[in-house]
Amino acid sequence: MADEANPISIPYGRQSIDDDDIAAVEAVLRGDWLTSGPSIERFEQAMAEYVGASGACAVSSATAALHLACIALGLGPGKRLWTTANTFVASANCGRYCGAELDFVDIDARSYCLSIDALRHKLEQAERTGTLPDVVVAVDFAGQPCDWAALAALKVRYGFRLIDDASHAVGARYQGQRVGSLPAADFSVFSFHPVKILTTGEGGMLFSPDPALLEAVRMLRTHGITREPALLTRPDEGGWYYEQQALGFNYRITDIQAALGLSQLARIETFLARRRALAARYDELLADLPVQRPWQMPGGESAYHLYPILLADAATRRHVYDALRREAIYCQVHYIPVYWQPDFAKLGFAEGLCPQAEDYYRRTLSLPLFASLDDAQQDRVVEALARALREC
Ligand SMILES: *Cc1c(COP(=O)(O)O)cnc(C)c1O
């Protein structure tokens, strides 16, 4: 129970689970297939239809999806992966799993996505030194699509492959087209972690405009094994026969998770509408406070995974974060520049590499935003924020 001294805590993000979700999971638990069953294909087909892709491959997490995408795109030792400094570590780790060399691109001061100018500049330099990237992972940060037209043009000019880490952007649109089916992205990746737009507990998904790439990740998610008669290289020895044709993994999703995802997908428009309404409400309620509200690029339609505000300086951010926490409002910071992590510093990265991402990191704070956040809770967040700012 909530009381004045002990209010109900408000996290920055959380899942919305209803009775239909629970019934869907229960039905799987009472059925024949807990994994590798028909719920997975149903979830894949429904998601593909939703984003306007020809197919999908569901896996155990977005991290697994990113890893498989990198392998399918031929990443390995001697190859290079670039990504934005302002992302979760998984967008970079996928390159390291493959033994590729990493580098980071600075962010745009307004969208906080990878900066097209910074990328172009870095590509020009890399062309001169023969160190162009093989794969670029662009992240639709906070749910806002990157400048995909510009990325597509640079891809053609410099010949790299593109992965859309759309972990934040399930349901977002770019120039009217749903993220997940943007043709410039060789792979698009979703996350179904509980703080994201839709959840399966843990889970991820891959889309690709190239059916052969999608087939490759399908095989890699289950040990590189196939039973497909047309694909077998040795004579089929009977019903038990299968072949491992590449070194894969167990990155399968379960039917329990897929059923939850399918049930959640039925409410996607409700989730997105509520997130957008809350973001619009924050825009209004914060208008007179000394904070910078998130800017939206024309032509994009964000899924509003996050609502990151910018504060005056690092000290203000620290004060506000702590003050809200004392009132059981748990904001979060997205993100510490990836290469600041000690495990990346070991690779030779140092502070100063991406000044814009570093300045942004020092001042940013993600306010609570999720589909089941109600107006009264949001008011409580804004009042606490206003109070904290008056103390600065
Ligand atoms: C959440 C997230 C991931 C990882 O997702 P998992 O499903 O937890 O593996 C990757 N990239 C970004 C940008 C994310 O926010």
Instruction: Tell me the DSSP string of 213-224.
Output: HHHHHHHHTBTT
State the chain's mean pLDDT as an integer: 97
Render the burial of 55-70: b for 16+ CB within 10 Å, e for the rest: bbbbbbbbbbbbbbbb
**What digits encode the pLDDT tens for the residues 328-371?**
999 999 999 999 999 999 999 999 999 999 999 999 999 999 99
Residue to mutate, 15, 59, 60, 63, ligand 1, most ligand atoms under 8 Å from C-beta: 63
Atom of ligand 1 nearest to the CA of 64: 9
At 139, which helix (H) or strand (E)? strand 135-139
CA 191 to ligand 1 centroid distance, Å: 6
Q: In this predicted structure, what is the pLDDT of residue 4?
A: 55
**What digits encode the pLDDT tens for the residues 97-110?**
999 999 999 999 99
**What digits encode the pLDDT tens for the residues 78-87?**
999 999 999 9
> Among candidates 66, 89, 82, 69, which has minimal Cα distance to 115?
82
CA 163 to ligand 1 centroid distance, Å: 13
CA 319 to ligand 1 centroid distance, Å: 28
Pocket of ligand 1 (CB under 6 A): 61-63, 87-88, 90-91, 139, 165, 167-168, 191, 193, 204
Q: What is the dihedral of CA 295, 300, 301, 307, to 10 degrees?
A: -30
CA 232 distance to own-chain centroid = 35
**Residues 255-283: what's their mean pLDDT?**
98
CA 58 to ligand 1 centroid distance, Å: 14
**For residues 59 and 56, what is the distance between their CA atoms, to the nearest angstrom?**
10
**What digits encode the pLDDT tens for the residues 117-166?**
999 999 999 999 999 999 999 999 999 999 999 999 999 999 999 999 99
Instruction: For residue 1, name the pLDDT band (cuts at 50, 70, 90).
Output: very low
CA 138 to ligand 1 centroid distance, Å: 13
How many other CB atoms are there within 10 angstroms of residue 152's CB atom? 15
312's tokens? 């005056």
Q: In this predicted structure, what is the pLDDT of residue 6?
A: 62
> Among candidates 282, 53, 356, 335, which has minimal Cα distance to 190?
53
